[in-house]
């Protein structure tokens, strides 16, 4: 069967990387995803395989031990991985965002300290903005860092929420309030690079990672809180050694993160379509395969069209970011349409499976629990519409 959502104009290196990842997904991810997901088991062997392929360093510059590939390459890799199991793409998602932020905004000392070990997967990153009392309202962050008496350290107090890889990571990019910037709330936010041991409980003096949050889907990968109580950190661990600029650095990370989420949504939608079209040709009703009934055939046509449309918008947003241009609107559009279409395509695939779709024996049941997460991660659809509309009004500002 011809694959959906192929991308034209790729280099030989990009094509080779994607072929390698696709083979890995087909042989090492899809056959084990159901069992691992149902048991909520961390995919240690799969992660080890990704380390061997160099995927943790795919966008890290070659001078720091990475592959030096583009955001587009990374997004297409994520699409392939999410097609196999979205949780596996989650293992490298926040790691990639943190690596991107350090590459773009870190001091040379920070780059030298973190990036070579991040490229090998020895250091794996997580990303923290949300708190128990806030979601999208980042400017309302309460977790605070104050300068210690010696001036060379900060002390952090507060609670953070929804850390993907919170327990399995050993580096957190942490956004907190410092009151060292300008008057506007978002200009008083600072990003810290917090090194910690892997695991749960009190992992360091003043830092506790409670157990995993039990989720409807997105199993296997750990999602946690992080509680800071008098946690002491050196001032040299402020990203870029620039207090008050953390919000801008995080938003740069979120822009590439939205392309990533769009890619993950595309991957799930592709897999849902694959499962639906295969099942529709096998399942018979009224003397013929249900794919030959117009109601189902038209549904398959609509699903395939949505997959292609989402993929192309995701690719456009990635290429725009790679060109150095601002892509907040395009990334928001890609994330919006890809996540919404993913939910629709997955539900259509579920309906095509009929009663069997409700059984845990069938893969579509897992996808039905995973797809909704993408409507929320990296900003809800309503937040994307806010970003898009603001960008459009900025571009089409009335001259009257």
What are the catalytic residues?
378
- Angle, helix 246-282 to helix 294-322, in steps of 10 degrees: 150
End-to-end CA distance of the chain: 55
Q: Do 351 and 298 form a contact (C-beta atoms < 8 A)?
A: no
Q: Do 263 and 82 form a contact (C-beta atoms < 8 A)?
A: yes
Give residues with Cβ within 8 angstroms of 88, minimum separation 6.
Answer: 29, 33, 43, 46, 47, 50, 81, 82, 220, 221
Q: What does residue 71 show for φ and ψ, rounded to 5 degrees?
A: -60, -40
């Amino acid at each position: 069967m011809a694959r959906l959502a192929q991308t034209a104009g790729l280099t030989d290196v990009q094509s080779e990387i994607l072929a390698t990842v696709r083979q890995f997904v087909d042989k090492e991810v899809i056959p084990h995803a159901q069992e691992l997901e149902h048991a909520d088991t961390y995919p240690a062997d799969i992660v080890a395989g990704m380390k061997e392929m160099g995927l943790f360093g795919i966008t890290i510059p070659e001078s720091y031990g990475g592959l030096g590939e583009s955001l587009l390459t990374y997004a297409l890799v994520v699409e392939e991985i999410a097609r196999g199991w979205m949780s596996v793409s989650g293992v490298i998602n926040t790691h990639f965002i943190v690596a991107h932020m350090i590459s773009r905004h870190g001091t040379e000392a920070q780059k030298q300290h973190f990036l070579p070990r991040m490229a090998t997967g020895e250091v794996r990153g997580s990303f923290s903005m949300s708190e128990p009392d806030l979601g999208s309202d980042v400017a309302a962050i309460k977790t605070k860092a104050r300068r210690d008496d010696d001036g060379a350290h900060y002390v952090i107090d507060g609670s953070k929420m929804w850390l993907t890889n919170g327990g399995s990571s050993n580096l957190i990019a942490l956004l907190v309030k410092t009151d060292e910037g300008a008057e506007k709330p978002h200009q008083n936010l600072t990003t810290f690079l917090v090194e910690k041991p892997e695991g749960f409980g009190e992992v360091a003096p003043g830092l506790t990672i409670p157990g995993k949050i039990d989720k409807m889907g997105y199993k296997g990968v750990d999602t946690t809180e992080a509680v800071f109580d008098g946690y002491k950190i050196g001032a040299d661990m402020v990203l870029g050694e620039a207090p008050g600029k953390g919000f801008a650095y995080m938003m740069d990370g979120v822009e590439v993160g939205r392309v990533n989420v769009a890619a993950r949504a595309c991957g799930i939608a592709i897999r849902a379509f694959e499962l639906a079209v295969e099942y529709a040709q096998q399942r018979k009703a009224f003397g013929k395969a249900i794919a030959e009934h117009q109601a189902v055939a038209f549904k398959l046509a609509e699903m395939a069209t949505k997959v292609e449309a989402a993929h192309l918008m995701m690719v456009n947003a990635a290429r725009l970011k790679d060109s150095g241009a601002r892509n907040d609107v395009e990334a928001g559009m890609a994330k919006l349409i890809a996540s919404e279409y993913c939910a629709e395509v997955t539900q259509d695939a579920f309906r095509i499976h009929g009663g069997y779709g409700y059984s845990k024996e069938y893969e579509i049941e897992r996808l039905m629990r995973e797809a909704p997460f993408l409507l929320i991660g990296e900003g809800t659809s309503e937040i994307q519409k806010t970003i898009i509309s603001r960008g459009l009004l900025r571009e089409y500002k009335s001259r009257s």
